[in-house]
Structure 1
C-alpha cells in the first residue's frame, strides 16, 4: 500500500530524514525546524505527508544508520552568517562585527517596520526627528501604538505636538508611499555608522575626572572652559565628586553606600575632608544611626590626618562605589542643580 514501508531498501535520504523527525517529535523532542530553509521545510512536510506506516525492523535500520552518521561527525558548525556571528560573538572587533552585520542585513530581505519597532525609543525618536513632521507621522501611524508612544515621548514638546497633529493627515497616504518611507528609514538605520563609544563625550570625560585628583580636575575644566564653555559645563555636570554627595544622593540611599564601602575608606575620606567637603561628612554622619555616627566620629578623631593622596583616593573609591550602585540599579543619583 502507498506510504506503508516494510524495508529500508530504496528509501531516499529525505524519506529517512522524515522518519527520524517523526520519531523525535513523537518522543516529545523540540526540533529547530524553523531554522531550515523554507524549501527544505516544504520537502520535509511533503515526505511526512506521503508516509503512513513503517514496520519495526525498518525503523530500527533507519535509526541505526542515523546514529552511525552522528558518530562519524567530528565537528558541527552553525551554518549561515547569523550562526557565525553568534559563534564568534565577543571575539570579533567592533568594526568587523559591524561589517559582518551589515553584510548580513544586505543579503536578506528585512521588514522595515519590524526593524524600526525593535529600536530603543530614543534612537527611533532621533531618527524621526531628522525627517519632516509628515514623514515622522506616517512612520508612527504605521508602527505599533506602544512603540510610537514611547518614541513620541522622547521628542521635545513642540516637535511632538507637530508630529501628533500630522498623524491626523495620514489616512489618505497610499500604501506604496508608506512602503517607500519604511524602506528609506530602515536603510538609514542600517547605514548609520557604528559608534566607538556608547556614552556621550561629557559622560566619558566626567567618569575619568571623577577619579582624577582635584587639582587635575580643576585644571582640565578650566582649560576646557577656555576653548569650549558649553562642553566644559556639560562635563562639570557629569562629574560626581565627594563634595557633590549631599546634593546628588538621597538620604535613604546612604545605607547602600556604607554597606558597599569599607569602613576604613570612609573614615580616611572623612578624616581628610577640607572645608569644601565638610558638609558631605556631616551629611553622611547625620543620616545614619546615632550609635554608628558616634563610633565613626570617635575613629575619625583618633585617626592621624591622612595625606592629600590618601584622602583623594578614598573619596574616589566612594564616588566610584556610588556609580557602581547606580549602574546596578540599587540607587538613583539625583541630577545636579544649575
Structure 2
C-alpha cells in the first residue's frame, strides 16, 4: 500500500499540503479524517493502542489540507484498496476463526496450542459462552479475588447461576470480593480473561462428536426391531442405567405417538412417499399398529380412509418391507426435526 499508519516519528511540525508533500503518517490522518467527515467509522480499535495514539496525535498536529491534495490522497488510497485481490486474517488466531467448521477439531486444537500468546478480540466473550458447569469448576480452584474478577466480567444472570452452583460460604466470600475489584487495572483483568479463555478452549479432541448413548441409539434406530430388542435386553443386564438412557435416545416408528405432536403429523405426511405409509398400514403389528392408528387419526379423514382402503387391497406385506418403510418414515421425521419444522415432545421418564 502506498501509505500506512506506521508513521516515522512525531517530531515533524504540522505542515499544509502546499508547503511540503505529505508523509505516510499524514496521509493516514487525511484518510481517517475524510472517512469520519463522510459518516464512516474506520475500525481503528483493531489497531495496537500505540498506533491509535500516534494517529490521534497526528490528527491533532495536522494543518489545513487543500482540496486537491485531499483528492489525490483519496485516489491513492482507493487505488491501493482496488489492487488488493484478497485479504487474509492477521495471525494464527485469525486464521482459525476463518477456518472454523472447515478443518477437523483435532487440527484446530493443535493449531490453538501453536497460537501466539497475543490474544485477539475480547476473551470475556468466549468465557461467557462456556457452560456454567465447566466455569464453576474453574472458580472453585481460583482465589476469591480472581473469582470475583471473573464474576464481575460475566453477565449478571450468568454470575448468579454460578453462585448458585457453589457452597454458600464460598459464594459469600467471592461476592464480597467483587466489592474489592474497583482498583484492579484493565490490563490485569484482560490477562485473567486471556488465561481463562485459553484454558477453557483447550479441550481434548474427541474421536466421536456424540456421546456413547447417542451413538448406540442412532445405531439401534436402524437395526431391525428383533435385533434392537435383543440388544437392549442384554444392555439392561450389563448396565441398566446405560440401557435406560439408550432407550430414551432411540426414536422408532413405535415412538411416534409419544414423541410427535398430533398437529405435526400433517407436516410429516406431506413429506412422505405415500406408498411407504400404505405399506406400514398394511403390515404394522403390536406397538407399531398403535402408531399407525395415531398417525391416521391426525390426518384428514378422507385421506386416512383412502390409505386404509389401499392398504387392504395391498394384502399381506413382508415383515422386512414393513420395517424398511418404517425406517424411511422415521428418517423423514428426523429430518423435519433437525430442520426445525417440527419439535419432538419431551419424553416422560
Which TM-score band (shorter chain)? 0.7 to 0.9
Correspondences of 1:242-321 after superposition (within 5 Å): 242-321=253-332
Distance 1:181 1:79 in 2: 23
**Residue 21 of structure 2 is aligned to residue 10 of structure 1:** yes
* Pairs within 5 Å for 1:1-338: 3=14, 5-7=16-18, 9-104=20-115, 106-108=117-119, 114-119=125-130, 123-128=131-136, 132=140, 142=152, 143-150=154-161, 160=164, 163=167, 166-173=170-177, 175=181, 186=197, 188-338=199-349
1:133 Cα deviation from its structure 2 partner: 10
Cα 1:8–1:194, aligned 2, differ >3 Å: closer, same or farther?
farther
Which consecutive unaligned segments of at least 5 residues does structure 1 have?
153-159
Contact 2:106 2:206 in 1 (8 A): no
Mapped contact 1:133–1:166 kept (Cα < 8 A): no
**Please, what TM-score do these two structures have when normalized by structure 1?**
0.80
Partner Cα separation in structure 2 for residue 108 and residue 201 of structure 1: 35
* Cα pair 1:141 1:167 within 8 Å, conserved: no
**Shift in alpha-carbon separation, 1:130–1:118, aligned structure 2, 3 A:** closer
Distance apart, 1:135 and its partner CA: 7.6
CA distance change for structure 1 residues 110 and 48 in 2, over 3 Å: closer, same or farther?
closer
SS in structure 2 at match of 1:11 = coil
SS in 2 for 1:66: helix
Measured on the aligned residues, the alpha-carbon RMSD in Å equals 3.6
The CA distance in 2 between the partners of 1:127 and 1:103, in whole Å, is: 24
Unaligned runs of 5+ in 2: 1-12
Give the corresponding residue for 2:10.
none
Aligned residues: 326
Distance 1:208 1:47, change over 3 A: same
Find the aligned partners of 1:233 and 1:182 in 2 and give their Cα distance.
40
1:108 aligns to what SS in structure 2? coil
TM-score of the pair, normalised by structure 2: 0.77
Distance 2:199 2:94 in 1: 25
